[in-house]
Amino acid sequence: MRNAKLRLSDRFQPDMVPVLPWYAFEKALLAILCIATLFFTIVTPPFQAPDENQHYMKALSLAHGHLLTRQRGDAVGAELPRAALEIHAADFPTEVPPTVRRFEGERLRESVSADAQRPGQAFADFPNVASYAPSLYAPGALGLMAGKGMGLPWLATFYIGRLVNMATGLLLLLFALRLLPFGRNAMLATALLPTFAYQTGSLSPDAVINGLGFIGIALALRIGFVGRTRERDIGLAIAAPLLALAKGVYLPVMAAGVRLDHLRRDARPWLLIGAMALGAIAFVGWMQYSGGSQVLYHIQSRKTGETMMTAPLRDQLAHVMADPVGYVRILVSSVIERAPVYLLQIIGRFGWNAILLPLLAYPLGLLMLGAGVASGTGARFGLSQRLWWLLVALGVAMLIETAMYLTGTPLGADYIQGTQGRYFLPILPLVLIALSPAKPLRGSQRFFVGSAAFLLLIAAATVLDSFWIHGFITSDGMPPHESLARALLLPSPRW
The helix/strand/coil state of 203 is coil
pLDDT score recorded for residue 293 = 61
56 phi and psi, to 5 degrees? Answer: -60, -45
Of the listed ranges 79-88, 133-142, 257-266, 317-326, the one predicted with least confidence: 257-266
Order across the sheet with 75-81: list the strands.
70-72, 75-81, 121-125
Angle (CA) 114 117 120, round 5°: 120
Mean pLDDT across the chain: 91
Q: Is residue 15 over pLDDT 70?
A: no
- Helix-helix angle 444-464:361-374, to 10 degrees: 150
The residue-averaged pLDDT of 135-153 equals: 97
The helix/strand/coil state of 420 is coil
User: Which tens digit of pLDDT belongs to each residue from 340-382?
Assistant: 999 999 999 999 999 999 999 999 999 999 999 999 998 899 9
Q: Is residue 4 over pLDDT 50?
A: no
Name which of 249, 271, 239, 231 is nearest 392 in CA terms.
Answer: 249
User: Which tens digit of pLDDT belongs to each residue from 205-214?
Assistant: 999 999 999 9
112 phi and psi, to 5 degrees? Answer: -60, -35
Q: Is residue 189 over pLDDT 90?
A: yes
pLDDT score recorded for residue 10 = 40
For the chain, the maximum distance between any two Cα atoms, rounded to a whole number of angstroms, is 70
User: Which tens digit of pLDDT belongs to each residue from 60-80?
Assistant: 999 999 999 888 888 889 999
| C-alpha to C-alpha distance for 25 and 32, rounded to whole angstroms | 11
The residue-averaged pLDDT of 79-104 equals: 94
- The model carries a pTM of 0.93
Q: Is residue 9 over pLDDT 80?
A: no
| C-alpha to C-alpha distance for 356 and 406, rounded to whole angstroms | 29
Strand partners, 76: 71
DSSP classification of residue 237: H
Percent pLDDT > 90 in the chain is 78
- Are the beta carbons of 203 and 162 closer than 8 angstroms? yes
pLDDT score recorded for residue 250 = 96
Angle (CA) 385 235 210, round 5°: 70
Q: 261: pLDDT confidence band, cut at 50, 70 and 90?
A: confident
Q: Is residue 13 over pLDDT 70?
A: no
Q: 416: pLDDT confidence band, cut at 50, 70 and 90?
A: very high
The residue-averaged pLDDT of 188-193 equals: 98
pLDDT score recorded for residue 294 = 65
User: Which tens digit of pLDDT belongs to each residue from 419-460?
Assistant: 999 999 999 999 999 999 999 999 999 999 999 999 999 999
101 phi and psi, to 5 degrees? Answer: -125, 130
Angle (CA) 281 287 293, round 5°: 140
pLDDT score recorded for residue 74 = 80
- H or E segment and range at residue 78: strand 75-81
pLDDT score recorded for residue 16 = 40
Of the listed ranges 9-13, 49-53, 81-85, 490-494, the one predicted with least confidence: 9-13
| C-alpha to C-alpha distance for 455 and 438, rounded to whole angstroms | 26
Q: In angstroms, what is the C-alpha Rg of the chain?
A: 23
Q: How many CB atoms lie within 10 A of CB 480?
A: 9
Task: Fill in the amino acid letter for 318.
Answer: A
73 phi and psi, to 5 degrees? Answer: 65, -125
Q: 17: pLDDT confidence band, cut at 50, 70 and 90?
A: very low
| C-alpha to C-alpha distance for 111 and 91, rounded to whole angstroms | 6
The helix/strand/coil state of 413 is coil
Q: Is residue 482 over pLDDT 60?
A: yes
Name which of 131, 45, 130 is nearest 94 in CA terms.
Answer: 45
